[in-house]
Every structure is written in structure tokens, then in C-alpha cells.
Amino acid sequence: MPTWPAARRQARDRSEETAVFTVLRGLTRNSRRALEDIRSASNQLVDHSREMSESIFWETVEAFGRQQQGPVGDLLVQIAAAQRRVEAARIADVCAVHEGLAQRAAAGLEDLRAAR
């Protein structure tokens, strides 16, 4: 049978092991969440690349429309302007998502700091 000081030391060691496992479990959960966020950001970058190509296309359409005389040129300029408004709304949505991801990352860091 262990002595009282040895029993206290064993209890403290088990308590520390439990705390370490709890922190590791939290880190694993946060790592998975971070990987999901990275995948999401990567997909958004691919989408952004496509949108940039599309943006260049609409700039070209607008420039061509300005060179044309008459209703066809006016129509091309109007279509390009409408498309730019759609792009601006899309960009605002992406910015909101990025802000949300940044807030989640900051909260995750705070959780990690608190767990230490």
C-alpha cells in the first residue's frame, strides 16, 4: 500500500495526464477545423481566379461596347456594368466569409492559449 505522499503524487500525475489528453483532444479538433478552413479558402482562391478571368472578359466587352456606335454598343456597356454590379456583390460575400474565417481562427488561437 502506498504512503500518503506517494498516493498524492500518483493522483496528481493522473490529473496531469488527464489534462494533457484533454488539451491534445482539443488541439486535434481545432486542427481538423483549421484544415477544413484551409480547404475552403483554397477553393475560394480557385473561384476567385475564375472570377478574375471573367472580370477581364467583361472589361473587354465594355471597352468594345464603348468603341461601337449606336444601340449595340450601348447595350454591351450596360451588360458589362450589370455584370460588374454582380461581381461587386460576390466580392462582398467573399469578404464576409474571409472575415468569418479570420474570426474563427482568432477564437481558435485564444482557445489554444487558454488551454496552455
Give me the tens of pLDDT residue by residue for the chain, a chain 116 residues long.
Answer: 556 666 667 767 677 777 667 767 776 776 777 777 777 777 777 777 777 777 788 888 888 888 988 888 888 889 888 888 888 888 888 888 878 887 887 777 777 777 76
Q: Tally the domains of the chain.
A: 1
Query: Which pLDDT score, from 0 to 100, does residue 2 have?
Result: 55
pLDDT of residue 1: 54
Q: Which domain holds residue 89?
A: 4-115
Cα torsion at 62, 65, 71, 75 (round to 10°)?
-20
Q: Residue 45 phi/psi, 5° resolution?
A: -65, -40
> What pLDDT is recorded for position 6?
67
Grid coordinates representing 47 are 473561384
Query: Does the predicted TM-score (pTM) go above 0.75?
Result: no
**pLDDT score recorded for residue 7:** 64
